[in-house]
């Protein structure tokens, strides 16, 4: 987290991504913003026209799988210094969604037709559209205040909604995972190694208990840091 800069002889100028890096990041953010906008459009259109959850995931699965997996590039962006975010925290946040997509929704069709899918799709789409639009415009210091406000305010509703949708989806998949022994390797086997996927899913669900308050608190601090100065200047 960046702290307020102080003038000193030892202070070093912050290294940015450079012009080529900015162009790449702008293109990446625009592409992701457009992709999640397309997913949101398809989701709402399907729900309005079909008036059913059945088949919704099939309608948006390819685009969601592609754009969510593409987000792994953001870990690379952190590692190579294009952005200043923590590579570890970025990876954790991305893996939690990839777990839901590739570990639950894709291999367990029964998890696709319940209300959790709508909750997570709408929350993911709105969060990503505002996030990528904010990052893209901020690269050139052209982010309007309204967009910044959306970026640091929508999460108050979208984050709990998305997390709830993810948990509901994983819980809905558990009976089918157990029934089929999905991704489970019991002993004895040649590797002398056992893995119980249902237990792993339960542990993932349980991990939301300590991690959700921490991440939500981190977002609240970011909101205060980014929006409070603008709010104060408007009141003066």
**What are the pLDDT digits (tens) for 171-184?**
999 999 999 999 99
Cα–Cα distance between 79 and 88 in angstroms, integer?
A: 9
Share of the chain above pLDDT 70, in %: 90
Note whether residue 103 is domain-resident: yes
Does 11 fall in a domain? no
Per-residue pLDDT, 165: 97
Measured at the CA of 81, the angle between CA 77 and CA 82, to 5 degrees, comes to 55
Q: Which of 24, 59, 65, 159 is catalytic?
A: 159
Q: Which pLDDT score, from 0 to 100, does residue 15 have?
A: 60
Inside any domain, residue 10: no
| Number of separate domains in the chain | 1
Residue 228's pLDDT is what? Answer: 75
pLDDT tens track for 34-72: 999 999 999 999 999 999 999 999 999 999 999 999 999
**CB distance 155 to 93 below 8 Å:** no
Report whether pLDDT(11) > 90: no
**pLDDT > 70? residue 10:** no
Indicate whether 2 belongs to any domain: no
Domain contains 197: yes
68 domain residue, yes or no: yes
Asked if residues 39 and 125 have their Cβ atoms less than 8 Å apart, the reply is yes
> Range of 137's domain?
19-235
Q: Is 159 assigned a catalytic role? A: yes
Predicted local confidence at residue 17, as pLDDT = 78
The mean pLDDT value for 163-171 works out to 97
Question: Helices 155-180 and 197-235 sit at what angle, rounded to 10 degrees?
Answer: 180
Higher per-residue confidence, 219 vs 161: 161
Question: Which entry of 128, 135, 166, 197 is annotated as an active-site residue?
Answer: 166
Task: Give the pLDDT confidence score for residue 43 in this predicted structure.
Answer: 98
Query: Structure tokens of 231?
Result: 């709010």
Q: Is residue 6 part of a domain?
A: no
8 Å CB contact between 22 and 125 = no
Q: Is residue 4 part of a domain?
A: no
Over the Cα atoms of the chain, what is R_g?
A: 20
pLDDT at 65: 98
Helix or strand or coil: residue 195?
A: strand
């Amino acid at each position: 987290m960046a702290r307020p800069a102080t003038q000193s002889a030892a202070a070093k100028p912050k290294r940015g991504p450079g012009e080529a890096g900015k162009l790449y990041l702008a293109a990446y953010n625009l592409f992701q913003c457009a992709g999640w906008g397309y997913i949101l459009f398809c989701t709402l259109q399907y729900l309005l026209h079909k008036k059913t959850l059945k088949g919704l995931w099939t309608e948006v699965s390819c685009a969601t799988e592609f754009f969510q997996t593409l987000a792994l590039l953001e870990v690379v962006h952190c590692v190579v210094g294009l952005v200043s975010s923590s590579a570890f925290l970025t990876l954790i946040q991305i893996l939690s969604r990839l777990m839901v997509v590739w570990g639950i929704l894709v291999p367990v069709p029964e998890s696709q037709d319940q209300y959790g899918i709508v909750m997570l799709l709408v929350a993911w789409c709105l969060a990503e559209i505002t996030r990528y639009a904010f990052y893209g415009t901020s690269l050139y210091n052209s982010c309007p205040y309204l967009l910044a406000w959306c970026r640091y305010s929508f999460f108050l509703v979208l984050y709990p909604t998305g997390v709830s949708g993810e948990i509901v989806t994983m819980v809905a998949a558990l009976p089918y995972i157990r029934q089929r022994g999905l991704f489970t390797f019991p002993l004895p086997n040649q590797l002398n190694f056992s893995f119980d996927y249902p237990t792993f899913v339960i542990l993932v669900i349980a991990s939301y208990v300590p991690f959700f308050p921490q991440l939500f608190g981190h977002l609240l601090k970011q909101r205060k840091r980014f929006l409070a100065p603008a709010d104060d200047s408007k009141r003066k």
